[in-house]
Structure 1
Amino acid sequence: MVSDFRKKKLLHVFTSFFDRNGSGSIDKKDFELAIENISKLRGWSSGDAKYVETQSALLKIWEALQSRADSDKDGEISVDEWISMWDEFAKNPSAPLEWQNLYSKFIFNLEDASGDGVIDGEEFSSVYESFGLSKSDALVAFKKMSKGKGQVSWSEFQELWKEYFTTEDVAAPGNFIFGKTSF
């Protein structure tokens, strides 16, 4: 059973980052909207290499997510299907699904706008500001996530990622990887 705290975290990711059209479920259209939002954030047009790379990555993530989480095969991921899938992950976080690995790497690369292999506060906050969170809250979240350091590496991010989806500790640094300061 998923605790209320973990459920709030899962719903934050579901509603803020996946259910882009507000339909109450995740479908391919949500991913198409995410592609447009991210491309706008980065200033890419539909013919740019980075646009095509982002489109390819997100559609691959959608296909892998749908094949795993869409248990009733209706072409959508419901809140219940979403929570159930992440509950399974929490039981064995050392064996993530393919789409979870792809999504984790995608988010890290999105946040690492400079491509230098680390995320800093400015990169982090600009991404979450584009998803409707306040820049100041995102900067506070980054400080908590990074444990006061100026940067977060890929290996650190991977541990924070697992922590976000598994921990019951409200003060755990991983709780802040999606820019929110409280649940």
Structure 2
Amino acid sequence: MSYTFLERKIARCFDLLDRNSDGDLSRDDCVALARAAADASGFAAESADARRVHDAYVRLWEVLLAPMDSDGDGRISLKEYVTAVTGLSADRDGYADRDGRLSRPEFLALYRATFPSLGQEEIADAFEHLDRNGDGHITRQELSQNIQEYLLSEDVNAPGNWFLGRVDV
């Protein structure tokens, strides 16, 4: 199969996620990623911290990756992954459920998986600040404004300061 440059980048990401190198993504790959992340963080195998990381990666599978399984076999082939991700990149407003915004559950799952050192309460607080209009979703425009504030604003009360969790003033 001949891939475009974008598809080759997406395929590279797939290869990095395919921890057991079996040519498919599965829940087992996410568990292996969690184990590696917990080990890299120095968490004991059966500790509460390791469990939290594990749970975050399982939610990553359930919320973000499993919906890419178009044939319902419990595994994501390279073709399914490339098709799903290129579909998202073609619709730049598409997030996990492709409605152009992050709902609270999508945000919580994404942040738990991406920033496992942040506690659930801190992530929930961040969502409340980043959802600028209080409608229960973070739009692409809100996300952009929050990132800009986080990186550029000196205003200690700017909602975007919560982009990576609580910042002590």
The alpha-carbon deviation at position 111 of structure 1 amounts to: 9.6
Could you tell me which residue of structure 2 aligns to residue 64 of structure 1? 63
Structure exhibiting the larger radius of gyration computed from Cα positions = 2
Deviations 1:50-71 (A, max 9, x none): 2122111110111124541111
The alpha-carbon deviation at position 48 of structure 1 amounts to: 2.4
Q: Report % sequence identity.
A: 20
Is 1:155 the equivalent of 2:147?
A: yes
Instruction: Sort the Cα spacing of 1:62 and 1:79 in 2 relative to 1 into closer, same or farther, 3 A.
Output: same
Contact kept, 8 Å, 1:66 with 1:75, in 2: the verdict is: no
CA distance in 1, matches of 2:27, 2:96: 19
Could you tell me which residue of structure 1 aligns to residue 48 of structure 2? 49
Unaligned residue ranges in structure 2 (runs of 5+): 98-104, 119-145, 149-169
Q: Which runs of 4+ in 1 moved over 3 A?
A: 98-108
Instruction: Sort the Cα spacing of 1:108 and 1:62 in 2 relative to 1 into closer, same or farther, 3 A.
Output: closer
Higher RCO (C-alpha 8 Å, min separation 6): 1
The alpha-carbon deviation at position 87 of structure 1 amounts to: 1.4
Deviations 1:55-110 (A, max 9, x none): 11110111124541111111100000001111111122223015985675356526
Could you tell me which residue of structure 1 aligns to residue 88 of structure 2? 89
Deviations 1:17-50 (A, max 9, x none): x100000000111111111111111111233232
Is 1:24 the equivalent of 2:30?
A: no
Instruction: Sort the Cα spacing of 1:23 and 1:71 in 2 relative to 1 into closer, same or farther, 3 A.
Output: same
Q: Which has the larger helix fraction?
A: 1
Give the TM-score of the pair, scaled to structure 2: 0.56
CA distance in 2, matches of 1:3, 1:102: 33
CA distance in 2, matches of 1:27, 1:14: 11
Is 1:7 the equivalent of 2:7?
A: yes
CA distance in 1, matches of 2:45, 2:89: 37
CA distance in 2, matches of 1:46, 1:31: 16
Give the TM-score of the pair, scaled to structure 1: 0.52
Deviations 1:88-138 (A, max 9, x none): 1112222301598567535652699xxxxxxxxxxxxxxxxxxxxxxxxxx
Letter in structure 1 aligned against 2:57? L
Contact kept, 8 Å, 1:89 with 1:96, in 2: the verdict is: yes
Say how many residue pairs are matched: 113
CA distance in 2, matches of 1:23, 1:102: 29
